[in-house]
Amino acid sequence: MMRRAALPLATGLCFFAFVGAQRALSAPAAQGNQIGVAVLDFAYADTAGEAQDMTSEHQKRLEALASGLRKGFERTGAYRVVTPVCHPEPCEVGRTPLDQLEGAAKEAGAQLLVMGGVHKESTLLQWAKVLAVNLVDNQVVTNKLYTFRGDNETAWERAEEFISRDLLEAAAPLAGLSGPSPTPKLAVFDFELIDVSGGALLIPESAEDLEQLRLATEEARRLISQSGRYALVDIGAADAEEVKARKLSECDGCDAAVAAKLGADQSLIGIVTRVSRTDYAVTYKLRDAHSGKLIGVEQTDLRAGANDSWPRGAAWLIENKLLAR
């Protein structure tokens, strides 16, 4: 999970000092009931000193981060994304003067400007600075420093999810929205069994296995519903063959499309991996239903117990991983 930090950002990202003086530029006008928002591509600084050149990977992840934030605004229906154009050079955080960035955003029709940068301090530690400015009255909407661990696709996607949620909550008054961002709709599919035990080829999935998978699913849904963090979507109308055959774990993320068709924002599949007749582990995979991207993957340690203990393992995973995010 990302956490906020109050520490100063490393040298090289000091361009986030916001000048709060009033501008002479006129405020942009809203079109219809939607708020124009400009999310600039984030800057990046890498001082980790690693031997591997990850410039290309970082560029792709920066683009995915900005794209994900834009889509997050669009999905609310309260915002329309606009693209500022700077002259003579492209708009670039850290190089283009702040007043030019604001001016270009206003000319494009933005009332909200979002910009930021990421600093990789070490192999496992990255910082993200995010600034959002209300261009109508030149007030800071949010100005936060985050830190997140890891430099892989999953780490960046979790960072995007966390930052997007914060941005939407901070910008809600500007868009005339009351309270925090809408509760995400989640499709929790029936838990599935992957049997890698020595007897898997000789002993097929039993009726008792299916019953314990059902109970594990029910326990997961109960805990998620009670938490208030998600609004559960009924999966009864799902007609995909992978759903009926309990093979979503084998279809390379096809659960996202099924969830989207059901009207969900996110999808969750649960997997019980039977290592032996008395040892197992439980995993969940959480995806964005619109993009198909993984939001999170978590797994229990190897747990002792026969199939009647699977619901307890599922409950532990949901409480200590998903709902602790």
Asked whether residue 261 is assigned to any structural domain, the reply reads yes
Give 12-52 pLDDT, tens digit per residue.
444 444 333 333 344 454 455 789 999 999 999 999 999 99
Buried b / exposed e across 235-263, counting CB within 10 Å, b at 16+? beebebebbeebebbebeebbbbbbbebe
**Structural domain ending residue among the three candidates 107, 137, 171:** 171
Give the domain extent around 63.
Answer: 3-171
Is there a single domain that holds both residue 130 and residue 229? no
Asked whether residue 68 is assigned to any structural domain, the reply reads yes
Give 124-174 pLDDT, tens digit per residue.
899 999 999 999 888 999 999 998 889 998 899 989 988 999 999 999 888
pLDDT at 8 over 50: no
Is there a single domain that holds both residue 135 and residue 190? no
Is there a single domain that holds both residue 150 and residue 27? yes
294: β partners: 287
Give 180-192 pLDDT, tens digit per residue.
557 899 999 999 9
Is there a single domain that holds both residue 155 and residue 242? no
What is the pLDDT, as a whole number, of residue 88? 82
Asked whether residue 267 is assigned to any structural domain, the reply reads yes
User: What is the CB-side half-sphere exposure of residue 320 using CA atoms within 13 A?
Assistant: 12
Task: Note whether 299 and 282 are within 8 A (CB).
Answer: yes
Asked whether residue 192 is assigned to any structural domain, the reply reads yes
Give 266-291 pLDDT, tens digit per residue.
999 999 999 998 999 999 999 999 98
Give 57-112 pLDDT, tens digit per residue.
999 999 999 999 999 999 888 999 999 999 888 899 988 998 899 999 999 999 99
Is there a single domain that holds both residue 25 and residue 160? yes
Asked whether residue 176 is assigned to any structural domain, the reply reads no
**Higher pLDDT residue, 3 or 55?**
55
CATH of the domain at 129: 3.40.50.10070
The pairing of strands 185-188 and 139-149 is unpaired
